[in-house]
Amino acid sequence: MLAGGGLLAATVPAVAAPAAVDCAVTWGSLDKAGDAAVGRRVVDVRAGQHECFDRLVFDGQGTGADPIGYSVRYVDVLRQDPSGAVVPIKGGAILEISLFSSRYDPATGQPYPALPAVDVTGYRTFREFKVTGGSEGYTQAGLGVRARLPFRVFQTANHLVVDVAHTW
């Protein structure tokens, strides 16, 4: 009887534990920039939450692979371009995002539709996102984050992605 019970127990498959997610990052928090000469129009922005980071995605016009020029850096104070006025933003640290994307149609001088507001309420790292201004062919935005955490910037097709890690 004991031998039969042991055989029965051996045929029951073990339930695998869920795989642990490795959130180790090597991104750093230094300034990042790319394709400064490219002025592709940015038409949308949205945010998402991931297990290891919060993500902001800017969509470029069209579907081509032309990059979106950018500069992303931590600043002590967010100043609106071109006025220089201080822009209050929630968070323990501020990322200034400059996109080489005109806010105005060069043919007519009329402004393009504004980028939408992005609600980051309840996000683990993001605190507030604001499109703050821009001039001379670029658009400026601010991203308030919980602390000065590592971030990365990369492009896929017509998207510019900014990820900010939850931890070091």
Domain ranges of the chain: 27-165
Domain 27-165 has CATH 2.60.40.10: no
Q: What is the pLDDT of residues 101-155, one digit of tens each?
A: 888 887 888 888 889 999 999 999 999 999 998 777 889 999 999 999 999 999 9
* pTM score: 0.84
- Residue 7 has a pLDDT of 47
- Rounded CA gap, 166 and 51, in Å? 8
Average pLDDT of the residues in 44-64: 92
